[in-house]
Structure 1
Amino acid sequence: MAAGVYSVSQVNAYIKNMFAQDFALNRISVKGEVSNCKYHTSGHIYFTLKDGTSSISAVMFAGHRKGLTFKLEEGQQITAKGSIEVYERDGRYQLYAQEITQEGLGDLFERFQKLRAELEEMGMFSPEYKKPIPRYAKTVGIVTASTGAAIRDIINISSRRNPYVQLFLYPALVQGEQAKESIVRGIETLDRLDLDVLIIGRGGGSIEDLWAFNEETVARAIFNCNTPIISAVGHETDVTISDYVADMRAPTPSAAAELAVFDYNQFQEQTALYKNTLSRTMERKIERCHFRTEQYNLKLKFYDPSRQLREKRQRLADIEEKLRTLILSTTASDRTRAAEIKLRLKTLIEKQSVRDRHRLELLISHLEANSPLKRIGGGYGFATDETHRPIESVKQIKPGEEIRLRVRDGSIDAAVSRITLQDTGLLPQMPEEKTLPPKTGQ
């Protein structure tokens, strides 16, 4: 290396050594307003101290946070004690804070808190006024600087996620005195285009850099916009009034692009998945319908009147066959039984006839022995009255009545002229009948 020419590392090391030998820089207290405060996952706190005209980067390592009794936030007025050293790798100096005491809130932070309280009391932050962000936006409006990193990140992410989405950029000022009017015009202009969603924002910076998005006019323009708005101002730790009023807050412009622009490839995969799911569902539905149709067909066949009629006819034929078989069987059994009964009855009749014949013969013999006719044959007769009743007593008849007398070889009709009792003698005789003379003219 030529004489008098030094490497970057040599220069940075020399400057670092100069800072290290300066007693004032090794034990210094710096007062200012906190800006760009970030708590790192390692536990370190990175922030910026500023006043009205200048700023300095600062860091408090995790090992020194034991003495910090409050949460370091934007806009706080603090006094940081420590040393100013050079970060040799980057060639920049910063304040390495070992103690921090709070002095009060900065002017900008006080304005921020006051405006946030006023707008919140008006209801501009209320969830009921938040419009939903379309899930499948086709047109996206962007209000940001045309040359900043924010628009490049939004374009890159949008092209990667969905090249078919149309982006409409309104190149606005995002920093300085004229920024708030430019942002309001951008919101109002894109709102008239009837787009699906708007993104407003910018990259990171100090609270002064982001202040345009803390203005009341910008907040009212966002609130009055008919198009859903995603606010993407600064980094994740930066919070502005626009974030509270907007319909959705994104931690960065890149995140806003991912929220506004749907992933076309994922959309196609999801659509294919829905299609397959719908196809499988329809197939299962059709299968169930076919199965139910088959069941209904079986039930219809089962309850078919012609089928039931055939079954009933078959059952009737079976019953008739069983009945005929039963009748034949019963008839044969009854015939056999009737034949047996007939034979038994015939036997009983014959036996009874023999007994009756013997008895009859006995009765005949006895009757003949007691028969009046037989007695009549010995000179006796049998007398009956006019009604053919046997005359057993003379008291049954009166003189003048006719009687019939049966003898052995015939009968004699006679009129009673006189009745004689066995003990008392004659009964009174009937008076003689008088014959009346015939009537004249007969």
Structure 2
Amino acid sequence: MRKNTYSVSQVNAYIKNMFAQDFMLHSICIKGEISNCKYHSTGHIYFTVKDEKAAIPAVMFLGNRKGLGFRMKDGDKVLITGSIEVYERDGKYQLYAREIQKDGEGDLFLKYEALKKTLEEMGMFAREYKKAIPKYIKTLGIVTASTGAAIQDIRNIAGRRNPYVQLILYPAKVQGEGAAESIVNGIRALEDRQVDVIIVGRGGGSIEDLWAFNEEIVARAIFECEIPVISAVGHETDDTIADFVSDLRAPTPSAAAELAVYDVQELMYDMQALERRLNFLMKQKQELTRSRYLGYFNRLQLKSPKNQLNSERQYAAGLEERLCQKMKEKLTESRHRLRMLSERIDGVSPAKKLSQGLAFVVDGSGKRISDIQSVRKGDIMQVHLQDGRIMAEVTAVIPDKNNKKKGSRDGRETDS
């Protein structure tokens, strides 16, 4: 083993010790512009302080937050008091801030605010100019760098949601000199291709990294584009001019892909649900139509001449049956009454009396003889019997002794 060989930990510890021995680095005040400022959920603040030539990573821990009297953001010009130390694990040095005072706003931030105000006053951010994002698309245009996380995220999300959507990439320069012109060319090229939706974006970075999307020519290209444009610049906390002027702002490139590309699986589920509902409604409509048809058919049958004739026939048959029944009852009653009258007549019938051995006697003139006072000895009489009559002459008139009526004036028997 060679002499004077050291481990990485030993080297980092040595460098850290060198920084610790430098008194100036223990309490240093640095003037610069804030960039890439992030408020962590733990309460620590991570950011970069820079000027036109260089940048230093910095952190303000939660315990030192009392030394910050305002909410720090990108573009702020500040005076930072703290120490520069080495983070031994990574071998990197950074500024540990104890106190931060505002020294004015950065030039880029002022330029950003001025352009934002101008474009807003021109109405380029107005909601009424926003174009609706079509729900179902066939082609998706993408303006971003050909390498990097943004295009990979869009490809992955779009491929998972709907592999049938065609992705057309315009590999634009998204940072540095000429980036704004490259983005504008990409928007116009995809507009000429008549894609359904365009995504314009890139991954996160500092305000300098994202500045191409704050240029006026990019904003005007997005505003004048006939194709709906979704901006997807940086992270959720990053705001650019492109975000305000675009038709829809997505917090990340992945979210932009989800907003632009419909989920084909979800569409299949929706179509199946619609199919089930359509079948249900068709069946319900069919049942309702069948029920109405049967109702109309029954009403038509009731109103048909044949059915009315049958009904009248049935009614007439009922009347006939009732009439026959009444006639039978009347005949039975009349027969019964006739039988009673017949029996009464039969009881007083002369013929029956004659058949019982009695006779009917009349005088010569045909006048009925009812007592002995109507005859005299020598009168001629007719005696009617059951089977004929007898001509007789009165030879004697003999009164009934038990009868109160007298047979003659003196009450005695009269002889001829």
Q: State the TM bucket, normalised to the shorter chain.
A: 0.7 to 0.9
Secondary structure at 1:237 match in 2: coil
Normalising to structure 2: TM-score of the pair? 0.74
Residue aligning to 1:47: 47
Q: How has the CA–CA distance of structure 1 residues 324 and 182 changed in structure 2, closer, same or farther, with 3 Å as cutoff? A: same
Residue aligning to 2:65: 65
Q: How has the CA–CA distance of structure 1 residues 5 and 342 changed in structure 2, closer, same or farther, with 3 Å as cutoff? A: farther
Deviation by residue 1:310-357 (Cα, 9 ceiling, x = unmatched): 23322331233223323443565577679989999xxxxxxxxxxxxx
Deviation at 1:245, TM superposition (A): 0.5
Deviation at 1:124, TM superposition (A): 0.2
Aligned pair 1:275/2:272, yes or no? Answer: no
Among the aligned pairs, what percent are the same residue?
59
User: Any gaps of 5 or more consecutive residues in structure 1?
Assistant: 345-442
Q: How has the CA–CA distance of structure 1 residues 319 and 97 changed in structure 2, closer, same or farther, with 3 Å as cutoff? A: farther
Deviation at 1:131, TM superposition (A): 0.7
Deviation by residue 1:14-36 (Cα, 9 ceiling, x = unmatched): 33344344433333333221211
Aligned pair 1:175/2:175, yes or no? Answer: yes
Q: How has the CA–CA distance of structure 1 residues 91 and 224 changed in structure 2, closer, same or farther, with 3 Å as cutoff? A: same
Aligned pair 1:143/2:143, yes or no? Answer: yes
Write the distance in 2 (CA, Å) between the matches of 1:261 and 1:288.
Answer: 41
Write the distance in 1 (CA, Å) between the matches of 2:64 and 2:309.
Answer: 101
Q: State the one-letter code of the partner of 1:24.
A: M
Residue aligning to 1:106: 106
Residue aligning to 1:184: 184
Write the distance in 1 (CA, Å) between the matches of 2:308 and 2:24.
Answer: 115
Secondary structure at 2:43 match in 1: coil
CA RMSD of aligned residues (A): 3.0
User: Any gaps of 5 or more consecutive residues in structure 2?
Assistant: 345-416
Deviation at 1:128, TM superposition (A): 0.7
Residue aligning to 2:260: 260
Answer whether contact 1:36 1:238 (CA < 8 A) is retained.
no
Secondary structure at 2:93 match in 1: strand
Residue aligning to 1:25: 25
Q: State the one-letter code of the partner of 1:88.
A: E
Secondary structure at 1:98 match in 2: strand
Residue aligning to 1:116: 116
Normalising to structure 1: TM-score of the pair? 0.70
Q: How has the CA–CA distance of structure 1 residues 61 and 316 changed in structure 2, closer, same or farther, with 3 Å as cutoff? A: farther
Secondary structure at 2:198 match in 1: strand
Residue aligning to 1:426: none
Residue aligning to 1:231: 231
Write the distance in 2 (CA, Å) between the matches of 1:37 and 1:226.
Answer: 35
Q: How has the CA–CA distance of structure 1 residues 334 and 202 changed in structure 2, closer, same or farther, with 3 Å as cutoff? A: same
Which one is further off, 197-206 or 82-91?
82-91
The size of the alignment, in residue pairs, is 347
Secondary structure at 1:78 match in 2: strand
Secondary structure at 1:37 match in 2: strand
Deviation at 1:6, TM superposition (A): 3.3
Deviation at 1:283, TM superposition (A): 3.2
Residue aligning to 2:245: 245
Write the distance in 1 (CA, Å) between the matches of 2:24 and 2:312.
Answer: 119
Aligned pair 1:159/2:154, yes or no? Answer: no
Write the distance in 1 (CA, Å) between the matches of 2:274 and 2:165.
Answer: 22
Deviation at 1:109, TM superposition (A): 0.5
Deviation at 1:111, TM superposition (A): 0.6
Map of 1:19-418 to 2, 5 A cutoff? 19-330=19-330, 332-333=332-333
Q: State the one-letter code of the partner of 1:147.
A: T
Deviation at 1:304, TM superposition (A): 4.2
Q: How has the CA–CA distance of structure 1 residues 212 and 343 changed in structure 2, closer, same or farther, with 3 Å as cutoff? A: same
Deviation at 1:278, TM superposition (A): 2.7
Answer whether contact 1:38 1:46 (CA < 8 A) is retained.
yes
Answer whether contact 1:144 1:170 (CA < 8 A) is retained.
yes
Write the distance in 1 (CA, Å) between the matches of 2:291 and 2:333.
Answer: 56
Write the distance in 2 (CA, Å) between the matches of 1:38 and 1:181.
Answer: 29
Deviation by residue 1:217-274 (Cα, 9 ceiling, x = unmatched): 1111111111111111111111110110011111122222222222233333333333
Deviation at 1:191, TM superposition (A): 1.0
Write the distance in 2 (CA, Å) between the matches of 1:308 and 1:26.
Answer: 116
Write the distance in 1 (CA, Å) between the matches of 2:78 and 2:305.
Answer: 99
Write the distance in 1 (CA, Å) between the matches of 2:42 and 2:114.
Answer: 33
Answer whether contact 1:162 1:263 (CA < 8 A) is retained.
yes
Residue aligning to 1:425: none
Write the distance in 2 (CA, Å) between the matches of 1:323 and 1:89.
Answer: 122
Q: How has the CA–CA distance of structure 1 residues 286 and 67 changed in structure 2, closer, same or farther, with 3 Å as cutoff? A: farther
Deviation by residue 1:66-97 (Cα, 9 ceiling, x = unmatched): 45432222211222333333333333222232
Q: State the one-letter code of the partner of 1:275.
A: E
Write the distance in 1 (CA, Å) between the matches of 2:24 and 2:343.
Answer: 156
Deviation at 1:298, TM superposition (A): 4.0
Write the distance in 2 (CA, Å) between the matches of 1:311 and 1:171.
Answer: 89
Write the distance in 1 (CA, Å) between the matches of 2:63 and 2:338.
Answer: 128
Deviation at 1:286, TM superposition (A): 2.9
Larger radius of gyration: 1
Residue aligning to 1:348: none
